[in-house]
Amino acid sequence: MRIALLSYKGNPFCGGQGVYVRHLSRELVRLGHHVEVFGAQPYPVLDDGVTLTELPSLDLYRQPDPFRTPGRGEYRDWIDLLEVGTMWTGGFPEPLTFSLRARRHLAARHGEFDVVHDNQTLGYGLLGLPSRTGAPLVTTIHHPVTVDRRLELDAAGSRRGRASVRRWYGFTRMQKRVARRLPSVLTVSGSSQREISAQLGVPADRISVVHVGADTRLFAPDPAVPEVPGRIVTTSSADVPLKGLVHLVEALAKVRTERPDAHLVVVGKRPAEGPVATALERYGLGDAVEFVKGVSDAELADLVRGAQVACVPSLYEGFSLPAAEAMATGTPLVATTGGAIPEVAGPDGETCLAVPPGEAGPLAAALERLLADPELRARLGAAGRERVLGRFTWEHAARGTVERYRAAIAAARGTHAPAVAAGGAGTGAGARTALRDDPSTAGG
């Protein structure tokens, strides 16, 4: 198939959307399909065989000058004016403006693609896209951003702060309206499926679950990487309440009263202010918490392998790639029960230690227990890797996604999806067989 994959946020080192685009596109190409990714800044990092077409925005949030005002010569058309105007009024314009640019570009290439796959843009430009492109539309919603909005409103400390959050998340009204009109929605977990139906109003029968996963070739045990005593590793793409990092910092302070060698490595940017920065100062943990950013995939895998414990402290996750990647390396996991995390991490005491979200005390107790028990670490680490190998790999995700593409194409033609013969993985065949053999990749 000829696949157009849209992603308005493509950075593979900051947030799950860029990771999704990179690994899914690679595996689709390995199955024999042609994938062209359409992206805006930060542009996605893609593997060999995947084509990138840049649809540049004004890049208003780039470092080191976020929320910048462009120079007069940078404006190209009315979409640019809309982008700046939305930013000036405190909103986030990128989902809308990217969708409009994508519609314009794809309309000029009518008939070139068999399917268009949107990665959570959910902008007004998607409406009517099939008639303009001659291809059906499939959309992935990782989780409703209304969850992020609610958590940030709860954490806002003032009326002015809540008003600012509401302005920023104004685009969620558009996403609700668009989502309800989409014929085919993919999501990454049963938890997200329920949230999308409840919060966005998408009928459940339009939502299919295709789990994503880890790159199990890269994230694999390596005895040559030494284990660092006391190291705890976590991934936090942003200092937002949803990620729960402040609770992990508070838990670390408790753990260090019993284990002074305990320390935390955070894959993410060190916040200069906010709740995490305040907690680090309050507990005197500046030297016990290290932030690393811009690491390569191989460096990230080694960081996780070298930890005695990996931790996912999130209040909510639509899937949790960091949990799957940690488990794939054989590193034992402490994770909350927020959102879809239990679907990935598995049963407490069997493949992970599970704790309630938003509570530092239980999180500290679980970390202490694992740091003190090498036999438990070895058992959970081995069981976690087996769980990922059996359920959560990018090959499984690609095969399940191809099956949904075929269903969307058949629906657009008014026919049934053709039966797919086993053994022809090079051309996308075998997807139906893979789903039958491994129901965890289907759902919905």
The string of pLDDT tens digits covering residues 152-192 is: 888 887 888 889 989 988 999 999 999 999 999 999 999 99
User: Among candidates 201, 198, 240, 15, which has minimal Cα distance to 122?
Assistant: 201
pLDDT-derived band of residue 429, with 50, 70 and 90 as boundaries? Answer: very low
* CB-based contact 196:429 (threshold 8 Å): no
pLDDT value at residue 154? 83
pLDDT-derived band of residue 422, with 50, 70 and 90 as boundaries? Answer: very low
Q: Which residues of 8-133 form beta strands (DSSP E)?
A: 34-39, 51-54, 115-119
Say whether pLDDT at 436 is over 50: no
More confident position, 424 or 11: 11
- Mean pLDDT over 233-245 rounds to 85
User: Among candidates 196, 164, 166, 162, which has minimal Cα distance to 182?
Assistant: 196
To the nearest 10 degrees (0 to 180), the angle between helices 321-328 and 374-391 is 110
Rounded percentage of the chain residues whose pLDDT exceeds 90: 76
Report the run of H or E that residue 290 belongs to, with start and end: strand 289-292
DSSP for 103-126, written as a single string: HHHHHTTTTS-SEEEEES---GGG
Tens-place pLDDT, residues 365-402: 999 999 999 999 999 999 999 999 999 999 999 999 99
Q: Which domains, ranges and CATH numbers included, belong to the chain?
A: 2-209 (3.40.50.2000), 231-390 (3.40.50.2000)
Say whether pLDDT at 444 is over 50: no
DSSP for 193-244, written as a single string: HHHIIIII---GGGEEE----B-TTTS---TTSPPPTTEEEEE-SSS-GGG-
Q: Which amino acid is at 158?
A: S
User: Can you tell me which residue has the tokens 């308005």?
Assistant: 8
pLDDT value at residue 425? 37
C-alpha distances out from residue 153 to 142, 148, 149, 298, Å: 21, 9, 6, 37
Separation CA 129–CA 275 (nearest Å): 42
* CB-based contact 146:108 (threshold 8 Å): no
- Tokens, residue 66: 């976020």
- Mean pLDDT over 274-294 rounds to 93
pLDDT value at residue 440? 33
User: Among candidates 376, 274, 268, which has minimal Cα distance to 322?
Assistant: 268
What count of other Cβ atoms lies within 10 Å of the Cβ of residue 164?
A: 14
Q: Which amino acid is at 283?
A: Y
Q: How many CA atoms lie within 13 A of 3 on its CB side?
A: 32
User: Among candidates 402, 408, 382, 383, which has minimal Cα distance to 442?
Assistant: 402
pLDDT-derived band of residue 241, with 50, 70 and 90 as boundaries? Answer: confident
